[in-house]
Amino acid sequence: MVIDCHGHYTTAPKALEDWRNAQVANLNTPELGPRVSDLNISDDELRESIETNQLRLMRERGSDLTIFSPRASFMAHHIGDRETSATWAAICNELCYRVSQLFPDHFIGAAMLPQSPGVDPRTCIPELERCVKEYGMVGINLNPDPSGGHWTSPPLSDRHWYPIYEKMVEYDIPAMIHVSTSCNPCFHTTGAHYLNADTTAFMQCLTSDLFKDFPTLKFLIPHGGGAVPYHWGRFRGLAQEMKKPLLQDHLLNNIFFDTCVYHQPGIDLLTKVIPTKNVLFASEMIGAVRGIDPETGHYYDDTKRYIQAAALSDEDRFQIFEGNARSVFARLDAALKQKGL
């Protein structure tokens, strides 16, 4: 199988965005709505939004299953308060669940958490539990910066986050470390903020002993790990100066990277520097980079081509396309086994 571990519902019917705009417009006057019941999206609308977009491209490019979560830039945890985020997360997660029910062979859900700046992460646990127990979701997206580019939260190694980690370990689910929209003009959302966050999350883990407290905790750092593979020597050297263990022992039993890297040299570097067991196939289509590369004539985010062209053995490709996703996402593996896959 070709399992894409990084998909977002970027093509949701426009009614979702309209509802969100109304919610934001009435943050100070919630009595004016909108109510959750005001959002009406039919199954036919969901089918059309998927069949003409993600599913069409999956078939064209030869991928089988996508781990599907709400649109990352729409999470916008910095908007409103805890109740705002709780309502918005519940709506978005339910839509992803409905997609997974309409297309059970091609999509399985991962949950957005109802995070809010300065709010105890414990408040996210009811939605996390609902998504795992009722929706069968296999992972979560964890935003290390709910403030939207101002980084007001403690680092991921801080005990502030431990209630989430305890639930992750209990349910054996990984977290994709994924920020949302930047409201700081210094940081372009997808070109800077996302990649900064990937690198920052890795460094927060490197400087800590988080995985001594949670030896089975799993983080997936997207977008190829930001700057991490390119500067692997820097991180090895810093860990050495801090008297930390070798990175393969200190971090690589718990941290994994995806292949949302949009040119061949980048994938070649990723797969050369990072052990194969730590690389999971992903495309993030239809996402931040949707155009065609004039140098190749192919879409930038058609990442399967890069894995096929990389200097990898057949066993390595199997691990990247399927094996590693089943290992990191234990609940995905269990769901596939139930289907005889």
d(CA 97, CA 103): 10
Does the annotation mark 60 as catalytic?
A: no
One-letter identity of residue 38: D
Helix residue ranges per DSSP H, the chain: 14-25, 43-51, 54-61, 72-75, 82-102, 125-133, 162-171, 194-206, 210-213, 232-241, 247-250, 264-273, 304-309, 314-318, 324-328, 330-338
Determine the number of helices (DSSP H) and then strands (DSSP E) in the chain.
16, 9
Cα 82 to chain centroid, rounded? 21
279: its two tokens:
């690389």
d(CA 250, CA 210): 10
d(CA 13, CA 19): 11
d(CA 309, CA 265): 10
Render 30-69 in DSSP notation, one character per residue: GGG---GGG----HHHHHHHHHTTHHHHHHHHT--EEEEE
Give the helix/strand (H/E) hosting 174: none
79: its two tokens:
């908007």
Per the residue annotation, which of 48, 284, 295, 315 is the catalytic one? 284
d(CA 249, CA 234): 17
Which positions are annotated as active-site residues?
Answer: 284
